[in-house]
Amino acid sequence: MKTYAPALYTAALLTACSPSANPDNPSGQNIPANTESGGKTIALLNASYDVARDFYKEYNPLFIKEYQSKHPGTSVSIQQSHGGSSKQALSVANGLQADVVTMNQSSDIDLLEKKGLVQKGWKQALPDHAAPYTSTMVFLVRKSNPKQIHDWNDLAKNGVKIVIANPKTTGNGRYAFLGAYGYGLKATNGNEQETQKLVAAILKNTPVFENGGRAATTTFTQRNIGDVLITFENEANYVSKKLTKEQFEIVYPSYTISAESPVAVVNSVVGKKRHTGSRPILSRIPLERTGARTRRIALPAPA
């Protein structure tokens, strides 16, 4: 099996006025002033999900370097806003002036589409259904796996304490729930009643539902709560390989779920800036310079 790195697409908006002169953004927080003589300024706000913050810390400078190499004299800045994916979508729906949304589930961007903030058919606007990379759900356990957690059914055992993000407000938690449910259906040959019992037992063993994937990681790794953290593979890699070496192990369940991370341009925000004489720019750079090298993203592995 070979892995490949798709391109991560993001949008840059060329603004042509200073923030103080823009009536749609009187505070000027997200749109710094341009220098007409020295070239354009591109200012982006990316509203993203919780555990993507470290990826974008590495990705954004690469994107800026790539873009500026093709547009000499252009100044580029990217601000980040992170939280639970569904909470972030609600923030954008309620007025957060994000130029780009990079979520971990399509339903969050579908909400913005329904509200008219993202163009209809946004999945067809970019290759790969606007999902440039994927991850999957895994278990992060303490060194030597003292509770012998190997699969979803082990999470239902007495005495096992689980930490996950809240399924009601985060894609991370929702994927954890769906992963458990999918395993239950497979293990019971589609028996809904037995599957519901399994999921109920897992949820009963979960004393903490955090408000985001990174908050769940902090609770498990720094507050030492729980025997297992259910999270994205890229977050588990970040913890076990970089954040706290030699303290944790990753367990891959026998059956899990693919988690896509879709992206979209917030046209309602981009459109406001466009009327000043600007134009939207779409760019991309390969992910192998980030995900593959740092193991922060699980890349698709076609046969």
Which CATH number goes with the domain that contains 89?
A: 3.40.190.10
Q: Is residue 12 part of a domain?
A: no
Render the chain in DSSP notation, one character per residue: -----PEEEEEEEEE-S-GGG-TT-TT-SS-PPPBTTTB-EEEEEEEEEGGGHHHHHHHHHHHHHHHHHHSTT-EEEEEEEEE-HHHHHHHHHTT---SEEE-SSHHHHHHHHHTTSS-TTGGGSSTGGG---EEEEEEEEETT-TT---SGGGGGSTT--EEEE-TTT-HHHHHHHHHHHHHHHHHTTS-HHHHHHHHHHHHHT--EEESSHHHHHHHHHTS---SEEEEEHHHHHHIIIIISTTSEEEE--SS--EEE--EEE-HHHHHHHHTTT--EEEEEEEGGGTHHHHT-S------
Domain identity same for 115 and 54: yes
Q: Indicate if 63 and 110 belong to the same structural domain.
A: yes
Residue 37's pLDDT band (cuts 50, 70, 90): very low
pLDDT of residue 301 exceeding 50: no
Do 66 and 215 lie in a common domain?
Answer: no
Query: Do 147 and 242 share a domain, yes or no?
Result: yes
Q: What pLDDT score was predicted for residue 27? A: 30
Average pLDDT, the chain: 79
**Per-residue pLDDT tens digits for 135-169:** 899 999 999 999 999 999 999 999 999 999 999 88
Domain count, the chain: 2
Residue 35, in any domain of the structure: no
pLDDT at 90 over 60: yes
The answer on 170 and 240 residing in a single domain is yes
The answer to whether residues 222 and 244 belong to one domain is yes
Let me know if residue 218 belongs to a domain.
yes
* 180 and 80, same domain (yes or no): no
The verdict on residue 19 lying in a domain is no
Domain hosting 215: range is 135-259
Instruction: Write out pLDDT tens, residues 250-284.
Output: 999 999 998 888 899 898 887 776 534 334 444 45
Instruction: Please check whether residue 20 lies inside any domain of the structure.
Output: no
- Claim to verify: residue 179 and residue 198 sit in the same structural domain: yes
